[in-house]
Amino acid sequence: MSVSAVPARTQRAGGEDREGVPLLKTPFEALPLVCVDVETTGLTPDKGARVCEIALLRSEGDRQVARFESLVHPQQPMPPEVIAVHGITDAMVAEAPPFVALLPEIRDLMRDAVVVGHNVQFDLRFLRHEWHLAGGALPECVAIDTLALARTYFDFARNGLGAIAAALGIAHTAAHRAMGDVLATWNVLQHFVTELRRRGPVTLADLILPRMPDAAGAGIRDMVTALQDALPESAPLCMRYRAWHAPETVRVVQPLAVYFQRGYGFLHAFCHLRREERHFRLDRILELSPLGDE
């Protein structure tokens, strides 16, 4: 398998290299994408639910480059109510590998890619949980949510994946099975991007910050662009920040990464005030400027 990506190299405060994510201004056609879907034994990993099937589709813009799918042994019985949804039975997963055995291939497909999913945070929550159980941590990643795009830019009668696919004339075979949902999601995204291009060039920013009001969204886009330009040097910055229900603070930070999840942007940085790595919500940063020489 041969894939390309557009990683940005940054450094931790101690000098350790880390791989970054594509810049907000990256055009869609230059993005490495991985569309992902998981089928599970329940609705939330917080109550012990596990992954029982996973599928990934790696692409670069509109060109597919690799696919992966597998049943996963969830190491617990399959509840009847979820069998009724996806049809995956205990007998089907009896000889399937556990998630930890699939992790190297999953990690390779996801490396440096922007994750795509319909209600993608559902899938990411389960991936984080499975990664944790395997003794690791899901790498920070940027995610495009086709559900958020549908609600923001379009006007469908219903926003479920099957309903959107049907409205667009997209085949959605094997619904509620991982690869069937992945293929439908990928085709829905391609359609959305085609429509958005009628309004102008489509960049990563247009796809991951769709919910922000124009004024606030533009300010955060400018902030993230400046941060990502500064990331390779990890130069110290002076930041005014107001956390939720907390007084404003002024601190020196060294940016390590910018990422987006749960509809918010975050700055991952080494905070000299607290002497540890911290995560700051971008919409709570009041001012960010280069640290003076004095």
- 108 and 237 together in one domain: no
Predicted local distance difference test score (pLDDT) of residue 1: 24
- Is there a domain that residue 218 lies in? no
Is residue 161 within 8 A of residue 183, CB to CB? The reply is no
Predicted local distance difference test score (pLDDT) of residue 259: 72
Predicted local distance difference test score (pLDDT) of residue 222: 72
- At what angle are helices 178-196 and 161-168 packed, to 10 degrees? 50
- Is there a domain that residue 226 lies in? no
Predicted local distance difference test score (pLDDT) of residue 15: 32
Distance CA 216, CA 138 (A): 29
Is residue 22 within 8 A of residue 10, CB to CB? The reply is no
Please, what is the Cα angle at 211 between 25 and 259, to 5 degrees?
Answer: 50
* End-of-domain residue from the set 160, 175, 208: 208
Question: Residue 72's domain is classified under what CATH number?
Answer: 3.30.420.10
- 153 and 96 together in one domain: yes
- 13 and 81 together in one domain: yes
- Is there a domain that residue 214 lies in? no
- Is there a domain that residue 238 lies in? yes
- 143 and 263 together in one domain: no
Predicted local distance difference test score (pLDDT) of residue 261: 63
Is residue 58 within 8 A of residue 42, CB to CB? The reply is no
- Is there a domain that residue 2 lies in? no
- Is there a domain that residue 221 lies in? no
Q: What total number of domains does the chain contain?
A: 2
Predicted local distance difference test score (pLDDT) of residue 164: 97
- Is there a domain that residue 213 lies in? no
Predicted local distance difference test score (pLDDT) of residue 5: 29
Report the greatest alpha carbon distance in the chain. 68
CA distances from 175 to 85, 120, 208, 293 (A): 9, 16, 25, 59
Based on its alpha-carbon atoms, the radius of gyration of the chain, rounded to whole angstroms, reads: 20
- 255 and 126 together in one domain: no
- 143 and 14 together in one domain: yes
- 133 and 254 together in one domain: no
- 243 and 177 together in one domain: no
- Is there a domain that residue 196 lies in? yes
Distance CA 217, CA 264 (A): 11
Q: What is the mean pLDDT of each run of 10 residues along the chain (294 residues)?
A: 29 37 82 96 92 96 92 96 94 97 96 93 93 90 89 91 96 90 97 94 82 56 71 81 90 83 75 90 87 58
Distance CA 3, CA 110 (A): 11
Range of the domain at 189: 9-208
Is residue 239 within 8 A of residue 279, CB to CB? The reply is no
- 52 and 158 together in one domain: yes
> Would you state the structure tokens that stand for residue 100, as one six-digit string?
């930890």
Phi/psi of residue 273, each to 5°?
Answer: -70, -45
- 203 and 265 together in one domain: no
* End-of-domain residue from the set 208, 225, 252: 208
- 121 and 263 together in one domain: no
Predicted local distance difference test score (pLDDT) of residue 62: 81
> Would you state the structure tokens that stand for residue 217, as one six-digit string?
């969204």
Predicted local distance difference test score (pLDDT) of residue 114: 93
SS3 23: coil
- 154 and 285 together in one domain: no
* End-of-domain residue from the set 193, 208, 223: 208
Q: 178: part of which helix (H) or strand (E)?
A: helix 178-196
CA 145 remoteness from chain centre: 8
